[in-house]
Amino acid sequence: MVPNMIDLRSDTVTRPSPAMRAAIAEAPVGDDVIDKDPTVERLQDLSAEILGKEAALYMPSGSMTNQIAVRLHCKPGDEFICESGCHIYNYEQAAFAQLSGVVARTVPGKGGIWKKDQLVGLVRPVNEHQVRTRMVTIENTHNRGAGRIQPYETVVDLCAWAHHNGLATHLDGARLFNAVAATGINAADWSQHFDTISICFSKGLGAPVGSVLAGPYEMIQEARRHRKLFGGGMRQAGMIAAGALYALLNNRERLREDHDNAQVLASAVRRCEGLRLQPDQVDTNMVIFTVNADLGNAQQFVDEMASHDVHMLAISPTAIRAVTHLDVSADQVQQAAKTFMSVAHRLG
Does an H or E element contain 78, and which? strand 78-83
Averaged pLDDT score across all residues of the chain: 95
Residues linked to residue 114 through DSSP beta bridges, in sequence order: none
Task: Give the pLDDT of residue 2.
Answer: 58
The strands making up 196-200's β-sheet, listed across from edge to edge, are: 55-59, 211-215, 196-200, 168-173, 132-139, 78-83, 103-107
Distance of CA 7 to the CA centre of its chain: 18
- For a pLDDT cut of 70, what percent of the chain falls above it? 99
Q: Does residue 55 contact residue 227 with C-beta atoms inside 8 Å?
A: no
Distance of CA 148 to the CA centre of its chain: 11
Task: Report the SS3 class of residue 58.
Answer: strand
Residues linked to residue 297 through DSSP beta bridges, in sequence order: none
Q: How far apart are CA 65 and CA 15, in angstroms?
A: 22
pLDDT tens column, 248-276: 999 999 999 999 999 999 999 999 989 99
Compute the Cα dihedral for 106, 108, 113, 117 and give only its sign: negative
pLDDT band at 35 (very low <50, low <70, confident <90, very high): confident
CA distances from residue 259 to 4, 83, 268, 314 in whole angstroms, order as listed: 22, 24, 15, 21
Q: Does residue 1 carry a pLDDT above 60?
A: no
Q: How far apart are CA 38 and CA 41, in angstroms?
A: 5
Q: Does residue 3 carry a pLDDT above 70?
A: no
pLDDT tens column, 210-228: 999 999 999 999 999 999 9
Domains along the chain with CATH numbers: 18-250 (3.40.640.10), 254-347 (3.90.1150.10)
pLDDT tens column, 165-195: 999 999 999 999 999 999 999 999 999 999 9
Residues linked to residue 83 through DSSP beta bridges, in sequence order: 107
CA distances from residue 262 to 7, 66, 139, 257 in whole angstroms, order as listed: 13, 27, 20, 9
- For a pLDDT cut of 90, what percent of the chain falls above it? 93
pLDDT band at 345 (very low <50, low <70, confident <90, very high): confident
pLDDT tens column, 49-62: 999 999 999 999 99
Give the chain's largest Cα–Cα span: 63
Written as one string, the DSSP assignment of 229-279 is HTT---SSTHHHHHHHHHHHHHSSTTHHHHHHHHHHHHHHHHTSTTEEESS
Q: Does residue 8 contact residue 336 with C-beta atoms inside 8 Å?
A: yes
pLDDT tens column, 292-325: 998 889 999 999 999 999 999 999 999 999 999 9
